[in-house]
A and B are shown apart, each in its own frame.
Chain A
């Protein structure tokens, strides 16, 4: 059974940093691209970042580019999101999601974690 478990969320002051983790199990983690998707309170889903299976390709939404860094450790079956220079508008539940698809057919998210809440407030 595929499982994705996020951790590392919490309360942080504006300008602060936080590192999220996602522990994966039930599949060959090193074979899949992975993503972070967030959802601000009462708002819709927003894709944040993706990383290819070997970390060769990394993409970010414009809203977090230059502040957030996605990474992975295939030996530990883990995905990370380093968040710096946090702003109030970064307050959200952050989900880890497995990528599925190809460059020919397009990509989607077939499995999601339960999310971890990040609150940016003074």
Chain B
């Protein structure tokens, strides 16, 4: 089955840029989606189709996808961005949805 690999943690100072990666074999050929989950809450979609933002998600959130790595970029990080972030793809060969292991973003 298709495997997505994320770093367990990323730390960033307020006002700086955070980059969270999601690795997978030729992931650039798939659409990647990103979710934010704060403690005790349900996940929230923040990026879909690699780089599209749902309504209500700040422009500070952006995404890219090429080769074997997809990246979620959060600019001008705020304390409220501290959360777990998960990438997700649909594996067309198996028709299964797959999540990465998640990355805990810490705002210093």
Please list the residues of chain A having a beta carbon within 8 angstroms of any beta carbon in chain B.
35, 37, 44-47, 50, 57, 59, 61-62, 95, 100-101, 103, 105-110, 112-115
Q: Does B86 lie within 8 Å of A108, measured CB to CB?
A: no
The interface residues of chain A lying within 8 Å CB-to-CB of B64 are none
Known pairs A47-B97, A101-B90, A109-B45; list 15 more (Cβ under 8 Å).
A44-B84, A44-B100, A45-B99, A46-B99, A57-B95, A61-B96, A62-B1, A103-B92, A105-B31, A107-B90, A108-B33, A108-B45, A108-B48, A109-B43, A109-B88
The interface residues of chain B lying within 8 Å CB-to-CB of A35 are 97
With both beta carbons as reference points, the residue of chain B lying nearest to A111 in the complex is identified as B45
Whole-angstrom CA separation of A35 from B97 in the bound complex: 10
20 contacts between A and B (CB under 8 A): A37-B99, A44-B86, A45-B102, A47-B97, A47-B98, A57-B95, A59-B96, A61-B96, A100-B48, A103-B92, A105-B31, A106-B31, A106-B49, A106-B92, A107-B90, A108-B31, A108-B48, A108-B90, A109-B43, A109-B45
The interface residues of chain A lying within 8 Å CB-to-CB of B44 are 112
Whole-angstrom CA separation of A106 from B41 in the bound complex: 25
With both beta carbons as reference points, the residue of chain B lying nearest to A61 in the complex is identified as B96
Number of residue pairs A-B, CB distance < 8 angstroms: 69
The interface residues of chain B lying within 8 Å CB-to-CB of A112 are 42-44
The interface residues of chain A lying within 8 Å CB-to-CB of B98 are 47
Residue in B89, B92, B101 whose CB lies within 8 Å of A44: B101
The interface residues of chain A lying within 8 Å CB-to-CB of B90 are 101, 106-108
With both beta carbons as reference points, the residue of chain B lying nearest to A108 in the complex is identified as B33
Whole-angstrom CA separation of A50 from B88 in the bound complex: 15
Q: Does A47 lie within 8 Å of B99, measured CB to CB?
A: yes
Interface of A is mostly: strand
Residue in B30, B45, B86 whose CB lies within 8 Å of A45: B86
B28-44 near A? 1/0 per residue, CB < 8 Å: 00110101010001111
Q: Does A110 lie within 8 Å of B45, measured CB to CB?
A: yes
